[in-house]
Amino acid sequence: MRPGKMRGGIRFSHPLDGLSSPFEDLPTPSVVTVALQQDRSGVCALRVKKNDVVLAGQIIGESPRPNGASIHAPISGVVTELIKAFQDFHGRMVPAVVIESDGAANPCEIPADTDPLAAVQQAGVVCFDHKTDPLAAKLEEARSRKVGTLIVNALDGEPLLSSRARLLLEQAEAIAAGIDALKKILDLGRVILTVDANAAEAIAAATRAFSGAVQILPLRNRYPQAVDYLLVQRALNVEIPYSLGVRITDIGALLVDVEAMAAVGRGQPVVERFISVATGKGHVKNLRVAIGTPIRAVLEHCRITPEPGGKILAGGPMTGTALSGLDQPVTKEFAGVFVQGRSEVVKLEEAVCIKCGRCVEVCPMRLMPFLISGFSEKGRLAEAAQHDLFACIECGCCTYLCPVRIPMVQFIQFAKGQLMAQRKGV
Amino acid sequence: MKEPGFVVAVGPHIHSGNSVRDMMLHQIIALLPAVAAAFLVFGADTLRVAAIAMGSAVFWDAVLQKLFKRSLSIGDLSAAAGGLVLAMLLPATVPWWVVVLGTLVMLLLGKHVYGGLGCNPFNGVLIAYVALLLSYPGLVGDYPVPTSDMMMTQNSPLLELKDKGAEFLDETFPLQDLFLGSTLITGTIGEVSKLALLLGGLFLVLRRKISWIIPAGFLSGLAGFAAVFWLIDPETYASPLFHLLAGGSLLGAFFLATDWTTSPVTKTGMALFGLVCGVMTMAIRLWSQWPEGAYFAVFMVSMLTPFFDKLRPKVFGSKFGSHRQVQF
Ligand code: SF4
Ligand code: SF4
C-alpha cells in the first residue's frame, strides 16, 4: 500500500526515543482534581455531592450531549470539595470535583452485554488527539454516513512523544478488541493502521495481534503528519480542506487513535491516560497516569525539578500548551508533559521578515505563512483571511524554521480569534 | 501558593536554531575555497581586497545603524558576508577606496534606506557592483595578469570571446583550467576556480542553507540557451560548458541569485526565477556590449521577484473549494 505524498513538514532526528520505555504506573495519588469539561462536548453536569463516597469508574459528571463523553471518578474515595470555577489549562473556567483516595481498587467493568455504541458512550471514551471529540458522537455520525474505512492511528503527534507507538506495542490485543467492537457498530470494509516505520517492534506486535484483518501502513516520521486531515491524506490520498466544514466522514472514513481503541477494547471507563514525559534533553518516561493527578506528582515521580523561568507544557514541544503552575491536573486532553529549563526557553520576537522562504517551503498546508502572519500582525485581518488564514493548522513548522524567529503562530491565532469574535458580534 | 513563574507562551516551544548569523557564517565558509584559489592565482592582493571589503562593510553597517537609529546588529554577519561576496566580484587590483565606496553603497542603497535587512528590493552586493562598474569601468572591469607585477591587464575568457569570437577559445582557455583555476586565466577574485565555487555551493545546498532549485534553474537555463546557439553554429558560438565555466555563472547561480530577500519564496517561483536568470545571462553575453552578464542578469531579474512570488502552490485540499468562504 502506497501512502499519499506529504508536502512540507519536518523530519525530526529524535522521533521515537521512548518506544523502548515501558509504561510505568504512577502510584495512585492521594487527591485528584477532576475538571468537568475534558472534551469538546461541553461542561458535564455534576452528579455527586460533597462528602459522597465514590467508586473508581463511577460517573461524576454527565455529558450534556446524548453521545458525549461523561467523566468518571478516576479513583475510589470521598468527594472532599466541589470547585465552582476551576481554571483549566486552556484558561477556561470549569467546575471541578476533588476526590480524596481511600486506597482502593480498579474501575468497574462495563457489562459485556451492553450495546457496543452505548458501551463506548458509557466508558466516556474520547479521541485522544488535539480535538478530543467524544468517540460515541463520532461513531454515531460515522454510522449515519455509512463509513466503511477505519484509520487507526499509532503515530505520535509530536516529536518526543512516544505513547501511541508504545501502547501499540504493549496493548495490541486490547486495540484489536477495540477494532472488533467498532466492527459491530460500523460496516467496515477496510481497516488501516498508521504507524511509525521506525517502530519495528510495535509493527511486529500489531502484525501478531491483528492477523491480517488490518492493513498496516508504516510511515516515515514526519511532523505533523499525525494531524487528522494530513493523516487521512497519507492513508487514503485524498486531501480534505481544513476549514470548509468538510468532514472526514464525508469521504467515508473515520480516524481514531490507538489509545481510544485500547480504551474501547478494555471495556472500562476512561480513568487514566498514557502519556510521555520528556524534557529539553529528551525522553524521560512513559507513564500510566490517573486522570486528575496533579502535574507536580508526575514530575516528582520522574525526578524532574522544574526551574522558575522555564516552561511546563501539556502536550509536546511544538504545539503543547504552557501551564502556569504545577497544580494543573492531567485530563483526557493530555498526550504528554514536556519540561523546559530556563535556558531552553525559545524567545520569539517581532522581527522583520527577510523573505527567506523557509516557512513557505515547510508549511504542510501549502500556505504563505509570512504573509498571513504579517497581515495579522498589522491588523489587516481581511487580507490575512484572503491568504487562507483559516487553513492553518497551527502546527508551528513555520515558526520553528524562521531564521528571525517571528512568532507566526501567535499572530495567526490572534487574527483567527479576532475574526471569530467579529463574526460572532455581527 | 504562588508558583515560581513559569513562562506561558504560544508554541512552538523549540526552534531549529536557524538564524541570519548562521546563514551568513555558512556563506562565508562556503566562499573560503574560492578565496584560497584566488590567493594562489593573484597572491596577497586577494586577501587585501577581501579584508577591506569585509571590514569596511561591517564599519558602514554599524555607522548606518547608528545614523538610522536601528539597533546594532553587525553580529548577524550579514554585512561581513555581503562584503566578502562583493570582493568576489572585484579584480584583485582594485584600489582600496573603491572597495570602501562599494561597501558604503551596498549598505546604504542595498539595506538601510529601505528599512534594514529584509526590506531591500535589490541585492545590495549587486547594487554596489553595478554602481562601481558604471562609475569606474577601468578600475573594476579590467583584470590583472596573474603573477605579473599586476600592472598589465589581460582579457578575461568572456571578453576574449566577445572580442575574438569562439574560434580559438579552446586553445586559449582549456576547460580544465577554467574549472580548476589557473594563472593563465584572469577574472575577478571569485571567478578563478569553478571547482572551489562548486564546492562552496554544494556545501550550502547540502546544509540546506539555500534551495537547490535556483542554482539548478540558473545553470540549466544558461546551458540550455547556450546550447541552442552552439548547436546551430559551433564556429561562432562558444559551447555551453564554456559558458558554465567562464566568468560568473557559478558565482551568480550559487551566491547571488540565492539571496534570501530578493529571490522568490515558492518552488515554482524559484525555478522560473533561476531559469530566467540563466537565459538573461546568456542574452547579455550574446547581444550586449558587456562581456559578462551573470551579475546584471540577477540584478534585473530580481525586479521580477514580486511577480514570481505570485506563483503559489494550491492550498491543501483546495480541490473542494476556496478556504476564503469559511463557515465558522
Ligand atoms: S503553523 Fe500554519 S502557517 Fe505555519 S506551517 Fe503550520 S499550517 Fe503552515
Ligand atoms: S521563515 Fe521567517 S524570515 Fe523566512 S520568509 Fe518566513 S517569516 Fe520571513
Q: What are A108-117's contacts with CB under 8 Å, separation 24+?
A: A108/A55, A108/A56, A108/A57, A108/A58, A108/A268, A108/A269, A109/A267, A109/A268, A110/A267, A110/A268, A110/A269, A112/A267, A116/A181, A116/A182, A116/A184, A116/A185, A117/A143, A117/A185
pTM, rounded to two decimals: 0.90
At B102 the pLDDT is 95
- Give the H or E element holding residue B175: helix B175-180
What is the distance between the alpha carbons of residues B328 and B321, in angstroms, rounded to a whole number?
Answer: 15
Q: Give A374's pLDDT tier (boundaries 50, 70, 90).
A: very high
What is the three-class DSSP state of A340?
strand
Pick the CATH number of A113-266 from 3.20.20.70, 3.40.50.11540, 3.40.50.150, 3.90.1570.10: 3.40.50.11540
Would you say A86 and A93 are in contact if contact means Cβ atoms under 8 Å apart?
yes
Domain boundaries, chain A: 113-266, 358-424
Convert the pLDDT of each residue in A310-367 to its tens digit. 899 998 899 998 888 888 899 888 889 999 988 888 888 888 899 999 999 999 999 9
Query: Which chain B residue has the Cα nearest residue A413?
Result: B10
Task: Report H helices in A211-294.
Answer: 228-236, 258-266
Rounded Cα distance between B296 and B280, Å, is 9
Does the structure show a pLDDT above 80 at B326?
A: no
Residues of B in contact with A280 (CB under 8 A): 14
Residues of B in contact with A354 (CB under 8 A): 20, 117-118, 260-261
Confidence bin at B90 (pLDDT 50/70/90)? very high
User: Which of A242, A312, A368 is closest, CB to CB, to B6?
Assistant: A312
Q: What tens digit of pLDDT does each residue of B225-238 get?
A: 999 999 998 888 88
CB-CB contact of A315 with A335 (8 Å): yes
Q: What is the pLDDT of residue B316?
A: 87
Is B265 in contact with A246 (Cβ distance < 8 A)?
no
Q: What is the pLDDT of residues B254-264, one digit of tens each?
A: 999 999 999 99
Cα(A83)–Cα(A88) distance, integer angstroms: 12
CA atoms lying within 13 Å on the CB side of residue B81:
23
Backbone angles phi, psi at B60, to 5 degrees: -60, -40
Q: Do B317 and A404 touch (CB under 8 A)?
A: no
What does the block give as the cell for A37? 469539561
Q: Which residues lie below 8 Å from residue A424, measured CB to CB, with a gap of 6+?
A: none
Average the pLDDT over B99-103 and give the result.
95
Bridge pairing between strands A282-290 and A23-25: parallel
Quick check: B8 and A324 CB within 8 A? yes
Q: Which residue do the cell numbers 538573461 mark?
A: B280
Can you list the positions of beta strands (E) in chain B? 143-144, 153-154
Instruction: Judge whether A325 is closer than 8 Å to chain B, CB to CB.
Output: yes
Q: Which atom of ligand 1 is nearest to the CA of A362?
A: 5
Among chain A residues, CA nearest to B268: A361
pLDDT at A115 over 60: yes
**Minimum CA–CA partner of A359 in chain B:** B265
For residue B325, pLDDT beyond 50: no
Render pLDDT for B271-323 as a digit per residue (tens, 0 to 9). 999 999 999 999 998 888 888 889 999 999 999 999 999 888 888 887 665 44
End-to-end CA distance of chain A: give it in Å, rounded: 48
Predicted confidence at residue B327, as pLDDT, reads 40
Nearest 5°: the CA angle A15, A19, A21 is 130
- Does residue A352's CB lie within 6 angstroms of at least one atom of ligand 2? no
Question: Tell me, what's the pLDDT at B328?
Answer: 36
Instruction: Please identify, by atom number, the ligand 1 atom nearest to the C-alpha of residue A399.
Output: 4
> Is A403 a pocket residue for ligand 2 (Cβ < 6 Å)?
yes
Contact B328 A423 (CB under 8 A): yes
Instruction: Please give the pLDDT value at position B199.
Output: 96
Q: CB of A227 closer than 6 A to ligand 1?
A: no
pLDDT at B321: 53
